[in-house]
Homo-oligomer: A and B are copies of this chain.
Amino acid sequence: MEQTDLVTTRYVTFDTDLRLESGRLLGPFTIAYEAYGTLNSAGDNAILVTHAWTGDCHAAGRHHPDDRKPGWWDNLIGPGKVLDTSRFYVICANVIGSCKGSTGPASINPKTKRPYRLSFPLVMVRDMVHAHKHLLDHLGITSLVTVIGGSMGAMQAVEWGILYPEFTRSIIPLAGTGRTSPMAIALNAIARQAIYNDPLWKKGNYKPEHPPASGFALARAVGHISFLSEESMEKKFGRRFSARDGIFDFFGQFEVERYLGYNGNNFVPRFDPNSFLYLAKALDLYDVGWNFSSMEEALSHLHCPSLWFAFTSDWLYRPEQTEEVVDILAEIGKPVSYHLIDSDYGHDSFLVEPHKFTPYVVDFLDEIARAQGV
């Protein structure tokens, strides 16, 4: 986007029931999305960008001319950029279960006129994908050039390939995993318990203006640690002590500690704790083999070319976890490419150092688009 191009988040409400993996129904449901570029008449030049845990659909451009920052992947999306909006119609949609415009636990349940809170059904990554398929059909998209996203976005990309093989012409999962590891679940367990321990949480029945702030800030700090790496922490903080504190003060803090507290607290007004918990659960439950007899069987349904990236210092979804999936795909003869990107920024590398992987994305997209004549 150019700085002068303003974008708007749009909302579509589907007056239908989504049958979730849990067997429960969700409906009507709203999807918030943004779109950049123009859909061609065949409806086949669309790229879907999938967001991570606490992400949103504001992937590019600015809502207001004075916005301090553009959308979260603005460096990738725009005319002449990696996801070239003069050529592709790029869409990013908020997942169900979130609090950034799509239906989630903070939404009003139209049947009761009250917020869902913990009466919201558990959603899996697969449910998010099915919900977004309604949006893409609504927009007249007939097939996707690719689905690209990191972390939970990578999970969605894989599910698109498996669930909608005719519709999905390629996928680009970054910093993903075939199934969440017990270490990642354990870290989410700590984050969860931090919220549960906060008396203001009230089993999810907090007032939006009185959220369980201390517990939620702590939960976010746990996440933050898992997104960083030894190397990035050494670079960014080392063992520097907060300049305002005495080293022998009981409450004195190292810089890394001060930073975690600061960022955790900043996050509180920006996200809904119940949404955070629902999406953490979706991450924990993620297993590409879910409801298939095996990971192999699940992946046999993926027909399109896939381009995978893992990052050396990512200890949340380690490269071995991506490689497990890539190896299976190669073994069963699927068209698969994989790059292990050397980066010190941990799980966040896909956001911090895009230049290290985007050249591969450009080549890959050229090939996909050329094969389809887009």
Interface residues of A (CB under 8 A from B): 22-24, 118, 121-122, 179-183, 185-187, 189-190, 192-194, 197-199, 214-215, 218, 221-222, 225, 228, 230, 233-234, 236-239, 247-250, 253-257, 260-261, 277, 281, 284-285, 287, 315, 318
Contact = CB atoms under 8 A, between A and B. Distances in A.
Given A185-B256, A186-B256, A239-B180, A122 B197 contact: no
B182 A234 contact: yes
Contact of A233 (B121, B182, B256): B182
8 contacts: A23-B248, A186-B225, A186-B257, A189-B260, A190-B190, A190-B218, A193-B221, A230-B318
Contacts of A121: 248
Contacts of A24: 248
Contacts of A225: 183, 186-187, 190
A50 to B, nearest CB: 23
Contact of A218 (B186, B193, B248): B193
A247 B221 CA distance: 26
Taken together, the copies of this chain in the complex come to 2
Contacts of A180: 239
A225 B181 CA distance: 13
Contacts of A238: 182
Q: Which 5 A-B pairs have the closest CB atoms?
A: A189-B257, A182-B233, A22-B248, A182-B256, A197-B214
Given A190-B218, A190-B225, 7 more contacts: A118-B250, A182-B238, A185-B254, A186-B225, A189-B260, A189-B261, A190-B190
Contacts of A194: 194, 197, 218
Given A250-B122, A260-B186, A197 B181 contact: no
Contacts of A285: 247
A125 B253 CA distance: 18
Contact of A222 (B22, B181, B190, B197): B190
